[in-house]
């Protein structure tokens, strides 16, 4: 079944429903244009606007911090740029974790990412991964609820293109170092070449 893009009116309805009124609906046109009507991209973009402080919760409800035109000028012009823009809103440490996870692949564990980053203990990486998971940047491969996260639990990028974008924009030297660490951590029998 083909998925059709959302219309501008459907984006407006989403904004009104999510934010409880018309205050944020003024962004419907630009959110529709940048997301190309892609529902997942629309939600990601709105989440990023909240994280960036462009949409704020005040005593009387949700509001735009700036005029819609000011917010529009700060936004990327294409869906690809919007995805990259969302990742650019992250703290440097969180972005490094995601870039290193992208080197591992579309599915990864905190243990694998710790190896790629070059740290001995996966616990700080696990804490960042859990936070990124809670914020919707990545997901757990398993849907079952665990009492405590594990360094070997498998996480995944929400969409493979997210891993491609992060890997493609990570510093080349960092990508090479991560790939090298991963390759040389494997037993000789599992190494290529």
pLDDT at position 191: 39
- 101 and 83 fall within a common domain: no
**Residues 104, 30: Cα–Cα separation, whole Å:** 35
pLDDT at position 193: 40
- 73 and 99 fall within a common domain: no
- 103 and 164 fall within a common domain: yes
**Residues 94, 8: Cα–Cα separation, whole Å:** 33
Q: Please tell me which residue, 91 or 38, carries the higher pLDDT value.
A: 91
Q: Residue 115's domain spans which residues? A: 91-190
- 80 and 96 fall within a common domain: no
CA 153 and chain centroid, separation: 19
Give how many domains the chain has, as a whole number: 2
Q: How many CA atoms lie within 13 A of 148 on its CB side?
A: 3
pLDDT at position 79: 60
State the SS3 of 2-63: CCCCCCHHHHHHHHHHHHCCCCCHHHHHHHHHHHCCCHHHHHHHHHHHHHCCCEEEECCEEE
* pTM of the predicted model over 0.95: no
- 37 and 52 fall within a common domain: yes
- 99 and 183 fall within a common domain: yes
Report yes or no on 1 lying in a domain.
no
pLDDT in tens, 39-96: 877 887 888 788 778 899 999 999 999 988 888 887 766 566 767 777 887 899 999 9
Percent of the chain's residues with pLDDT above 90: 32
- 36 and 101 fall within a common domain: no
pLDDT at position 146: 53
| Domain-ending residue, one of 46, 64, 87 | 87
């Amino acid at each position: 079944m083909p998925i059709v893009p959302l219309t501008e009116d459907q984006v407006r309805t989403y904004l009104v429903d999510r934010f409880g009124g018309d205050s944020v609906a003024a962004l419907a046109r630009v959110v529709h244009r940048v997301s190309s009507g892609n529902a997942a991209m629309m939600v990601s973009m709105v989440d990023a606007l909240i994280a960036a402080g462009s949409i704020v919760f005040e005593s009387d409800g949700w509001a735009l911090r700036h005029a819609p035109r000011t917010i529009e000028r700060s936004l990327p012009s294409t869906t690809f740029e919007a995805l990259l823009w969302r990742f650019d809103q992250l703290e440097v440490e969180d972005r490094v974790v995601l870039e290193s996870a992208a080197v591992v692949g579309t599915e990864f564990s905190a243990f694998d990412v710790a190896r790629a980053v070059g740290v001995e203990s996966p616990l700080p990486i696990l804490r960042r991964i859990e936070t990124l998971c809670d914020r919707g940047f990545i997901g757990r491969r398993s849907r079952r609820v665990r009492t405590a996260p594990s360094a070997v639990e498998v996480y995944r990028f929400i969409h493979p293109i997210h891993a491609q974008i992060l890997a493609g924009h990570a510093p080349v030297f960092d990508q090479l170092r991560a790939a090298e660490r991963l390759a040389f951590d494997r037993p000789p029998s599992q190494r290529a070449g």
